[in-house]
Amino acid sequence: MKAEEVVAQRVTLDGVVYNELLERIVSLTCPPGSMLYENVVAAEFGVSRTPVRRAFFQLARDGLLTVLPQRGARVSLLSSDKLREAQSVREILEIAAFGEVARQWDGAAPRFARATREILACIAAQKEAVARHDYLAFTGLDVQYHSLVLQLHGNATLLQVVNDMRTHLKRLRFLELEVAHHEVEAIGHHEEILRLLQAGDVAGTRAALRRHLRMLAPLRERLFTRHEGYFA
């Protein structure tokens, strides 16, 4: 095997392990405070401990794991302060970006026509996921909807920062789903925001997105108390 093929295989293995562990942590399959062990994960995936160790360190850089020398890694507890900060940063950046997309919107331009088709397909998939009671799929499609709009802004750094904020907030979303199934209301918001974007209504888009992002704010504060064992 050539050297570049070895590197490619290693990157692929790292990514497979990382992505699977990320999904488990974000979906609370591996809840805050639980332990992960290199040898156990390596045996499950049929790989050496090296890609597992790399995945652990990447998740640690993401703030999702605490690596304990000779003891494995612990899934990081949630931080109510961190979640509030992440939500605030997301609101500031995303509301401004959506407003700018509304200002630029040109339905005749190919990229906006393509984006409209993709966003409508995403909304249709959201409705199908809710009908199946597949809330994991819905959460992923919710992220996709927001990303499709943000991509139209054209600022890759902004998109990355918002996605980093979402990584922490997604764990909270799964706690929210245990209490309030708000997916139908969220889909209605998505449809309204798309109409406002297409109309070029900057103020309306910003206001609608602000309502959308804040619709569960009171519930989140109650969750911090209800699931206090998950929080630092």
Per-residue pLDDT of the chain (232 residues; tens, 9 = 90+): 443 443 334 457 788 999 999 989 988 899 999 999 999 999 999 999 999 999 999 999 888 999 998 889 999 998 888 888 999 999 999 999 999 999 999 999 999 999 999 999 999 999 999 999 888 788 889 999 999 999 999 999 999 999 888 877 888 877 777 677 788 999 999 999 999 999 999 999 999 999 999 988 888 888 888 778 888 7
Supply the pLDDT for residue 167: 76
Domain boundaries, the chain: 3-75, 80-230
Supply the pLDDT for residue 6: 34
The CATH classification number of 3-75 equals 1.10.10.10
* Contact indicator for 51, 170 with CB cutoff of 8 Å: no
Provide long-range contacts, Cβ within 8 A and 24+ apart, for 185-188. 185/215, 186/126, 186/142, 186/212, 186/215, 187/123, 187/126, 187/127, 187/130
Supply the pLDDT for residue 66: 93
Enumerate the β-bridge partners of residue 73. Answer: 36, 67
How far apart, in Å, are the Cα atoms of 91 and each of 50, 57, 69, 153, 206?
A: 38, 29, 37, 15, 10
Supply the pLDDT for residue 2: 44
* Contact indicator for 97, 153 with CB cutoff of 8 Å: yes
Pick 80-230's CATH classification: 3.75.10.10, 1.20.120.530, 3.30.70.100, 3.50.50.60: 1.20.120.530
pLDDT in tens, 62-120: 889 999 988 899 999 988 888 889 999 999 999 999 999 999 999 999 999 999 999 99
Supply the pLDDT for residue 4: 42
